[in-house]
C-alpha cells in the first residue's frame, strides 16, 4: 500500500429523525474523520510519532480504535481475536509500516462487525454480562473518537501541515 485514500465524509443531519439515527450518524462522522486524518499519507507518515518520547501515531490511533470497537462486538457473542492482526498489541506503541494495509483492513472489519453486532438492538439493551446499555456505548464511542480525532489533528499537522475538521 503506497498511500491511504481519502474517504468522503457525510455531515450528520441537523435534525435527526430519532435518537438512534442521531447516535449512529454522529459516530459514523467521527469514524470517517479519523480516516480523513490518515488519507493521502504513506505508511511511513502514518507511523510518525507525535513528540518523543510519546509513542502516539496516526497508525497507532487506528489500531487502538480497532480494539475499542469491541464495545459493540460483545453483542454478537463471537471471539474478538479474529479481527485483530496476530502480531502484537493493538495499542499505539507498536506499529509496523509494513502492516499499514493490514491495520486499515482490521479497522474496517472491526467497524463492520460493530455495525452488524448492534443492528436491530434496542438502545436500552445491556451489553452481555455488563451493565452498560447500547446507548451508553454509543455515547462513549463518540467521546472516544472525538478525543482521539483531536490527537489526530495535531499529528496530521505535524506530518504535513494539513489542518481542518
Question: 3-class SS at 146?
Answer: helix
What are the tens digits of pLDDT across the range 119-160?
999 999 999 989 999 999 999 999 999 999 999 999 999 999
d(CA 7, CA 125): 32
Show contacts of 10-19: CB within 8 Å, 24+ apart: 19/123, 19/135
- 58 closest CA partner among 44, 69, 46: 46
CATH architecture of 25-160: Up-down Bundle (1.20)
- 110 closest CA partner among 158, 66, 154, 62: 66
Per-residue pLDDT tens listing for the chain (165 residues): 577 887 788 888 888 889 999 999 999 999 999 999 999 999 999 999 877 788 899 999 999 999 899 899 999 988 775 545 444 444 445 678 888 888 999 999 999 999 999 999 999 999 998 999 999 999 999 999 999 999 999 999 999 998 776
Amino acid at each position: 500500500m503506497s498511500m491511504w485514500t481519502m474517504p468522503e465524509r457525510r455531515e450528520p443531519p441537523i435534525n435527526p429523525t430519532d435518537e438512534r439515527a442521531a447516535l449512529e450518524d454522529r459516530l459514523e462522522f467521527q469514524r470517517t474523520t479519523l480516516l480523513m486524518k490518515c488519507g493521502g499519507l504513506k505508511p511511513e507518515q502514518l507511523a510518525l510519532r507525535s513528540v518523543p518520547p510519546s509513542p502516539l501515531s496516526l497508525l497507532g490511533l487506528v489500531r487502538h480504535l480497532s480494539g475499542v470497537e469491541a464495545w459493540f462486538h460483545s453483542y454478537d457473542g463471537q471471539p474478538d481475536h479474529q479481527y485483530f492482526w496476530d502480531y502484537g498489541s493493538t495499542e499505539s506503541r507498536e506499529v509496523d509500516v509494513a502492516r499499514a494495509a493490514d491495520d486499515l483492513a482490521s479497522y474496517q472489519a472491526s467497524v463492520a462487525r460493530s455495525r452488524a453486532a448492534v443492528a436491530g438492538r434496542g438502545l436500552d439493551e445491556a451489553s452481555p454480562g455488563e451493565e452498560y446499555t447500547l446507548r451508553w456505548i454509543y455515547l462513549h464511542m463518540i467521546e472516544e473518537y472525538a478525543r482521539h480525532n483531536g490527537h489526530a489533528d495535531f499529528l496530521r499537522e505535524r506530518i504535513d501541515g494539513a489542518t481542518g475538521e
